[in-house]
Structures are given as C-alpha cells and as structure tokens.
Structure 1
C-alpha cells in the first residue's frame, strides 16, 4: 500500500510536468486564430517599422480600405446591380483585419474561448460555417441598416465572436432540455458580452458596429437551431416530413 501511495505521489508531478501549458483547441479554431493574429502581427510589425520600410506605416489604413467591409460599397453594388469580385471579397476578409493590436487580441480571446466548446460539439465543418458565414450575413444586415453613413466601415472579429455566442447560447439552451431556469441562464452570456462590448467600445472603438454584432448573434443562434447544431438538421427534416 505504501508503495502504491509512493507511486501515485511520483506520478502526479510527472503528469503536471507533461501537461500542455495551453488548453487544447480544435484545429478549426487554431485556423481562425492563426488568421486573426497572423494578419495583426504583420500590420503591427509594419507600423513599428520592422518590415516594409517607411511606407509600411500606412499599411493598416490601406488594408482596411481595401479589405474592410463598407456599407457605402454595398449600397453602390445594390444600386448599380454590379458585384465586382474585389468588393465581394470584403465580406470574407473584414473579420481578420483590426484597428489596433488590442482590438485583435480581444476578438481572438473570445474566438478561442467559445471555439473550444463549439468546435467539439459542432465538428470542424459546421463550426467553420458558423464562424465564417454568419459574419457575412451580419455585414449584409449592417450595410442595409447603415447605408451611406460615413461611419459605415466594419472590420474585426467581433461579429464572428457574437456569431459564436449565438451558437453557444443555443447549445446551452438545447442542453437544458426544458429546464426553464437553465434555459434562461443560457442567455446570460450575451448580456455579459454586450456589457463587455460596450466597455471596449467606450475605450477603443466607436461607430455602429454593434448592428453587425447583434445581427450575427441572432443569425448564429438561428443557424445553430435549424441546421448547424448537433442534430438540428435531422430534427428539421423530421418536422418537414411531418
């Protein structure tokens, strides 16, 4: 017995030493984080003068203007019924461009925290559909609501994070299985995140970006409930058959 206790005592420190210092994240989550932080690393290095020479200081503004989402551009495309590829690209790229390193870090932390639970539950393909498709739909809603407003620029991972909050809220609501108290608690996270978003906005960001974020939450919740969440598509087909 003494030997067993001694062996257990020896095993615990070894287990701690061998444990990974980072929480294991699904590969799909790492893919998003590498894209978010990789772009930010290049823009930060350029603004600090480490790469690109003196002209690189303006890279961030140039990248935002070229790859950020613009409500005025969307309005122009709808009015002229012309959809150039260079402008359609903005819908997929704006999520990976940020105004400051803090902006990028805040979005990356939320994506990592929510991605762990959703990546495991949804699987890689459905998780990526939720994370990438929902911000595009949120941007469309943002563009329709803002129109020609001079502040109608959208960039950063916050709509993606709110889309994941929508998926996470549905997941917790679904797991509650009719427990009213637990189902109400499932929506507590969106309240906390909105408060955090308000605080962050007062410090580092202004403008109507909250429109896209709120739209992304609603759309993310709806997509999770109808087609992307575990078992959602099967339940939808069963309803249609009935």
Structure 2
C-alpha cells in the first residue's frame, strides 16, 4: 500500500539532524548540571574545563604535530571533537538552533549522511584554516565552524537553483555576507576573537564539499571533466 503524503504544517525533522542536536545539547546539559552539583559529584564541576583541555582544537598542538611529523589520534580527533564542546549553555543552544534549521534544509536535499559529512568535514576544514592562517594560542571550541559549513551547503543549494532559472547566482551569498557583517560589527563594538576565520573556513569547506555530496554531484563533475 502506498504511503499517504505528509500533510502536516511542518515536515518531520530528519533523524540525523535530531540526533546531532541531541548529542550537542546532551553534552551541554551534562556540563550544566555537573557545574551545579546536580550530577556527577564534586568532580563534575570541572567537566567543561576538562573537556576543553582534552577535546578543543589547538593551533599550538597542530604546529607541534606538523613540525614533528607525529600525528597522535588523541590530537587528530580534536579537528572534529571541538565542535561538541562549548563555552556556555547559550553558546551550545545557538549552535543547536542553527543545526536544526540549516541541517534540516540541507538533509532534505542532500540526504542525512551527506549532511552529517558536511558538518564534520567543515569542522575539520575550519580548524585547519584557523591553524594555517593564524598563530593564535586560544583553543578553538564550539560548533559554529561546522554550522557555517551547513550554511555553505545551503548557499550551494540556492546557488544551483538560481543558476537553473537564469537568475543572479551571487544572491545566494547574501546570508553569509549578512552573518559575517554582523560578526564584524560585534567584533568592533564588543571586541572578539579570531574565531571568524574558522567560521569562514567552515563555510568555504561546506560549499566546496557540496559539489561532491549533493545529488548527482560526482556525475556532474565527471561530465565536466570529460568535456574539457
């Protein structure tokens, strides 16, 4: 029997998006409750700091690995793990909201696994660009570079759709331009870190990766290569 079409006002959330949101917020809730002594006992007060020390991305550690040629797994994992450790509940909540919004739109077009790949690879790409371009001793934490990767994938979707109807494809980049403009204003007014470099790196990674993981992406690339 054919399934009836979904007639609800809101399309159901893709399971991988919901799972990613729950992981991010589940970790943060554990930190939140532990800091208040509700779970974990006295040692739980230091869970967040311990997690930052163990899982944040460090440009200094990256420089050491590159110079020594030694790449321990415990440090390589930092390219992705930093995205799941946040400085505060509000920090994690903002990331979670963006994951729900951007993740849903990307997963509905690319599929759940491709959306997850964009999130994780963009986290690594943002961290790599952060380490290569800057000499910042501050550790990189939080999921915004990965979220900006999802924004990059969403921009790719708009870019392709505008191209299909012959519209101005530069309009697809209005969202990232607005977000980076807001970051610039906040940085000038309140001061800030250089995390925006990782965010922009995540966006670029997500946009570029979309050429491969979008539906028919590899076929289009092979076709272009054959015709060159």
TM-score (structure 1 length as normaliser): 0.84
Using a 3 Å threshold, how does the CA distance of structure 1 residues 205 and 36 change in structure 2: closer, same or farther? farther
> In the alignment, which of 137, 161, 170 is matched to residue 184 of structure 1?
170
CA–CA distance in 2 between the matches of 1:129 and 1:48?
A: 35
Indicate whether 1:175 and 2:161 are aligned. yes
Shift of 1:99: 0.1
1:222-241 superposed Cα distances (whole Å, 9 cap, x missing partner): 111x2112222110011122
Gapped runs of 5+ residues in structure 1? 1-17
Using a 3 Å threshold, how does the CA distance of structure 1 residues 53 and 196 change in structure 2: closer, same or farther? farther
> In the alignment, which of 180, 187, 194 is matched to residue 180 of structure 2?
194
CA–CA distance in 2 between the matches of 1:155 and 1:204?
A: 19
Using a 3 Å threshold, how does the CA distance of structure 1 residues 165 and 87 change in structure 2: closer, same or farther? same
> In the alignment, which of 101, 117, 122 is matched to residue 129 of structure 1?
117
Give the corresponding residue for 2:219: 234
- Report if the CA contact (8 A) 2:122-2:202 is conserved: yes
CA–CA distance in 1 between the matches of 2:149 and 2:83?
A: 12
- Which protein shows a greater Rg? 1
Shift of 1:47: 0.9
Using a 3 Å threshold, how does the CA distance of structure 1 residues 130 and 205 change in structure 2: closer, same or farther? farther
Using a 3 Å threshold, how does the CA distance of structure 1 residues 139 and 102 change in structure 2: closer, same or farther? same
1:108-130 superposed Cα distances (whole Å, 9 cap, x missing partner): 11111111111010012211111
CA–CA distance in 1 between the matches of 2:177 and 2:93?
A: 21
Q: How many residues align?
A: 220
Give the corresponding residue for 1:150: 137
Indicate whether 1:213 and 2:199 are aligned. yes
> In the alignment, which of 82, 87, 103 is matched to residue 99 of structure 1?
87
Gapped runs of 5+ residues in structure 2? 1-6
TM-score (structure 2 length as normaliser): 0.88
CA–CA distance in 2 between the matches of 1:235 and 1:129?
A: 19
Indicate whether 1:111 and 2:96 are aligned. no
